[in-house]
């Protein structure tokens, strides 16, 4: 089953330029790679049981271009396995700055999810299955098929696999020690669960995305439609424990890295598109996803690898 998706790139913190193109959605690649900027790793929290999913292989570690980066300080709060960190603790943001943010966070808490130093919470208002993916700074792809990254990002709420809720939410968060770098968020309407006589009105799912980046919080509003649309949001996060001048320098370096990678990734995608050898084509696409995971070309390549949607 092939879905043609119109990719919407929305600039986030750091001002990465938006681009548009058509892609074919694929749902099985998960990556492990070298972080863009390393933080000391806290003690991992237990991973919740996962639903059985298709087998997949982790990619080899990614070698990103070298950058002169100032040292990254460690957050003052260690990772925790408690139900919800207190709002007045350093490194953990207070509850929402708006009624919308509070409503989304309430859904997350009710579903058993946690707040975080970096957090992406997706809320929508029908029984459709809308999926949240986050590509971590390392390039590792967090989703329902790979719930926890090596840098301790975790999908701790995944809803509406069977259309069980009319007020669903999905949540990916780093409780503390969130790595500096690029965060790419993908939102896809995978399946419509509405009754057949309601599908004409439910083929499109408006959503709200709560974005928490340290003490900065805002809500994105958009919509995805079945079979032809995926929403992409990009953000840059630099921990507030780094002095302001170094933070601005680091943010600028990340933006420059992204622009360079977009330029290097595009020729690889073009080469793969024109390859008549299926084995060579797959190798080029996989290499592109591994080397430049945050680029528009890599996102398109990710969808082209098998040409079909894979889920559950």
Write the DSSP assignment of 180-192 as a string of letters: SEEEEEEEEEEE-
- The conformation of residue 143, written as its DSSP 8-state character, comes to B
Model pLDDT for residues 196-222, shown as the tens digit of each residue: 545 555 578 899 999 999 999 999 999
Question: Across 20-29, 80-89, 219-228, which has the greatest mean pLDDT?
Answer: 219-228
Q: For 243-291, how does the pLDDT look when each residue is reduced to its tens digit (9 = 90+)? A: 999 999 999 999 999 999 999 999 999 999 999 999 999 999 999 999 9
What pLDDT score does 304 carry? Answer: 86
- Mean pLDDT over 161-189 rounds to 92
Report the length, in residues, of the chain: 312
pTM recorded for the entire structure: 0.70
Strand partners, 183: 235
- pLDDT-derived band of residue 115, with 50, 70 and 90 as boundaries? very high
Beta strands 129-135 and 118-124, pairing class: unpaired
Return the structure tokens found at 135. 């590509």
Closest to 260 in 3D by CA, of 36, 98, 8: 36
DSSP 258: H
Pairing verdict, β 141-142 and 4-11: unpaired
**pLDDT band at residue 227, thresholds of 50, 70 and 90?**
low
Is a pLDDT exceeding 50 seen at residue 24? no
pLDDT in tens, 36-93: 554 444 555 554 444 333 222 223 223 333 333 333 333 322 333 333 343 333 344 4
Q: Tell me the average pLDDT of the chain.
A: 74
> Sheet of 118-124: strands edge to edge?
154-157, 169-174, 118-124, 204-213, 216-225
pLDDT (mean) for 137-148: 95
> What is the enclosing helix (H) or strand (E) of 6?
strand 4-11
Q: 154-157 and 216-225: which strand pairing? A: unpaired
Pairing of strands 129-135, 141-142: antiparallel
């Amino acid at each position: 089953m092939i879905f043609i998706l119109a990719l919407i790139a929305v600039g986030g913190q750091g001002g990465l330029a938006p681009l548009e193109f058509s892609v074919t959605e694929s749902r099985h690649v998960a990556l492990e790679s070298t972080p863009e900027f390393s933080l000391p790793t806290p003690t991992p929290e237990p991973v919740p049981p996962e639903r059985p999913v298709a087998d997949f292989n982790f990619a080899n570690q990614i070698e990103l271009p070298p950058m002169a980066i100032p040292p990254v300080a460690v957050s003052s709060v260690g990772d925790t396995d408690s139900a919800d960190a207190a709002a007045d603790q350093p490194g953990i943001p207070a509850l929402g700055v708006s009624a919308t943010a509070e409503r989304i966070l309430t859904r997350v808490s009710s579903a058993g999810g946690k707040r975080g130093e970096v957090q992406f919470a997706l809320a929508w208002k029908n029984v459709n299955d809308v999926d949240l993916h986050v590509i971590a700074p390392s390039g590792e792809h967090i989703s329902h098929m790979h719930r926890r990254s090596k840098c301790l990002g975790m999908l701790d709420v995944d809803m509406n696999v069977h259309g069980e809720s009319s007020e669903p939410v999905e949540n990916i968060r780093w409780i503390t020690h969130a790595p500096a770098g690029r965060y790419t968020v993908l939102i896809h309407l995978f399946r419509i669960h509405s009754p057949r006589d309601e599908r004409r009105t439910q083929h499109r799912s408006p959503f709200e995305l709560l974005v928490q980046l340290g003490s900065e919080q805002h809500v994105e509003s958009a919509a995805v439609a079945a079979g032809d649309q995926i929403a992409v949001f990009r953000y840059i996060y630099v921990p507030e424990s780094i002095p302001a001048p170094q933070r601005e320098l680091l943010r600028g370096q990340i933006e420059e890295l992204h622009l360079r990678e977009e330029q290097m990734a595009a020729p690889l995608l073009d080469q793969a598109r024109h390859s008549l050898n299926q084995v060579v084509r797959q190798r080029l696409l996989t290499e592109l996803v591994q080397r430049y995971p945050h680029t528009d070309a890599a996102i398109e390549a990710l969808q082209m690898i098998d040409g079909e949607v894979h889920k559950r």
